[in-house]
Chains A and B, each alone.
Chain A
């Protein structure tokens, strides 16, 4: 069988600017660069001194019609660059890609949506941007609207949409593309769980329309569920390729090792800045701050925040994640009907976990504040992630035994064997 995409010796180099992250130049810099250029050509120095980054290096790949391929790898491994080259957004430095079918990309949900335009108008605009013909959009219009569940708000400017509606509409348009090859970049991480499920279902359906799907994702659960073949990229190079159930564990192992080598004080902060999560402290049963806990031990999560503007209908969310992103346990104030008062200024929220029932390993405590109404643009009001470690007195307890280590007891005849973790 012949491939639908043929990638040969593909490389992409980025020149890193030396001016503190500003990637666009000013005229003055270019002019002074031109002045130096004659010397640089003589000495061959000017070019070499600029730092380079090979985002992709010698990628060779053939994608067959009907294949659903997951592209995985840590941040900066070149996953998105690969999709960008295939979708012709950016040009390769070396090598070539041959496309034997129409490419449709779902690189970012809602690309080109204009907040002032109505839902109806944006469907047409977005459809055209994604490469649909007007007649094609008209034909699919009703399906798109029904999928997005925004019938009643079709003539409302989308700046008044909740972020849930916005994302649904955006995904609906993109999902109704019928390309020969579909490129998907992390769309699976938008919206709430119910919507993610719907997205996955739709992608499964699209397999029957599309003749090949390439998915970039950090969500290994999704990758395992929908991709037969997985490509692991590492520092721009193709590290491994094969069946999902072979490659995904390889990657997870790699990720875990990375976490282990990083300092335990690893912290990450993001968000829109409306609410800043100042600190997340994990307190053990002795009442002291800790980064290592035992399976079955209690944990108190003390979250110090500061609301920079008055924020209403805020939901606090906390989750224990594995380094690969899998959520072992999550909870939110909304889930349990706890209502937060309007937040203003500094404050503290605490979460008490009476027993940590996960297997030993490295985990991330993800604390997020979000708007209950999922207001557009303020999806994450504030967020902080902090890593911690779980230990166990059972030396061989690891992921062979699953995710959780529940409180349990073996009963064999009249002999009682208690689980040592839960005495």
Chain B
């Protein structure tokens, strides 16, 4: 093995160490917290698990020569021993000390080669204080003495262990032959293989002890039996020569397996270190692997092995063991012979001091599968590569499909083959994507610690509830999510949760609760952070924003509670009265927002005063593959990430109320009462728009320049009636329906060229419409980053390769808004102006109402029977065809705006003539009601007129009617919506 190779292997091993250490630290932390919680009744399992983890860290550190890491984990181990032995119980302060040490370990692990330079004396001292403070003075000193200062001594001890006679094996026994020297005797032990194996698997060291019978018996009433009993308390006594003791020597010999370090043993058992020998794990393993027939020469083989260590190598089949073994041998030689050869160079760059320890056998300990690990470590880079390749394979499949489609048609037997391939490829794609996914628990699990530390620091009481930790997210997203979430949780605790006294005063439990919840919804992952604290005062936030000049008073007045609340995502806004160590500087939430947006996510905040705050984060499942809407302008196609798409609007040629207008030089669309700035993608990108001629099917250039010019204005004869009931964004397209009725537009074939497609995009809090030529399908696209040469193109966030192999650009909503220079502020002003005008109109309407005249809608059920409903009481009119009406039993339904709308036939509830059969079109009147919505069927909408609606009821007026009046010489029955709905509900119930 060349030096270079060795170096590589060391680097690789060290990388492994580091990730291993990190993982172990992560796994131990919750255990510590659990220990703290359980106080006296710490479960031994918990301690042992923590102990094992810390021990492994120590082992790895010792092996790599990371002394600081080793020393600190060693000190931690000491504390754990105390806890295990019941000599100490964890309280908050002790846990603090241990957690601090853990953090230091983490810092060391993060920069492993500099780890020896990380200052850790404070943590060490704290841990030592724990140990000494809780133990009998003498013993404490003893244990404390095991620290670094004693290192040379332990080194010596271990140097001797290296000279150990290793072992050979018979078929079920392993023969261990420690050489204590003539004085102490050289016993031979036959120990059961299985016992040794299980001891090794439990990460135990195996020692041979020589106990001085006389010396001990004088002091401690020593009997070999008692001694082996004592040994069994600390570990496992695998073998004792108690019964076969000869008179030749006054020493008893024991084989002892334990997880304790050699330096502990001297102290615990009171045996001088000369009398303790440790078997090298690798030697043991080699001996265990040895087939029985090879162990012919009992002693001879042993000596041979010892004298010539490489001799063993061919018998270790696992190359990993080889590495560890040769590394160990290097060390051994270096130590034994003080020979600085090539092998030393390997270690020199990472091991400054010469105080090298003979390796504890950690490599073997953690490479030995304790229970088979179902996971395998793979680099993200590799997975990314695989992702790309799979993406390509999918493209290749699609292309192949297209080109062999004809062939498949002609040879149907090929079809199942193709389909099978399809399924397999899709599955591969899915699985590879799955590989990048990690459970959210990965980041959520650090929060109990954060909440605990913080609540102690600011003397608040809070518990954290985590739900949905199994929800999986792309690794890169997860990593990006960690910091924002931490910030939010800290905010919850610092600003949200009140002090315990305050909480009790307001009748809440003293312990605040923070709830972290992750769940899937609509192909995205939602994460909510909820606290039951004091909530955020939206007014206060708004005031702050005004005082900082980010908002005008007028703007503020127009904002909803929620909008005000979400101002906290503006930079520099904090409602905290004092800036604390933890938060309150006001820089936080905007950074959170930026980070979340960078992940392609959204963040929102809602709060109820006195009851708590919820922060809601919505993020895509993966960054690499995103669902997108494909749109087209001219010959170009573009992808828009679904997360940016709020809705799609198609403006039909004959639709005068969704028309595009001009406000201050820019196109705007009035969408449900709000003004939406419109940007034309073709204009922005200077692409000649095209349209497909409806008759010839050819693609022709579209020469129309301005969107706003295309719409004819509303018919002058009929004044537009806008309904803004309670300020909500509704208007009734009564005129349109009337107009359509008059013009029989439904019969006229519409030319698709005159339809306008608007994609309503969300860019942060702003919403705008993007006018495109074509809307294609939704597609899952693989995002390819942009090269440096086109990075500065504001409007694009990436590129992707479409199913046909062509490249399409991914549009960036925020970039387009910025490029187009959309001035959302001006529009808001315009909107305000219009709203004011509308309010004027409304007050005028109110005035009219005083004269009891208001607009009513007149319609037919059966022809020649006229009905009227107050227009103000109608929320919507819908035109539909009879075949769109679904029937369940006698009840009819219409699928409307994503829900099911029950329909009312007047003749079923009222004494009126039935709706004529065989109508081509039906109108559905949807009354405004606080109850479950229902639609009233009608055959014809006639007109809207201003009429006196204060019609008098008389004795003949049946339920469901308000009364009757003559309008335009026709007898019109005014309906009473509420009574009608009553009747409808009765009818349903009676069925």
On whether the two chains bind one another, the answer is no
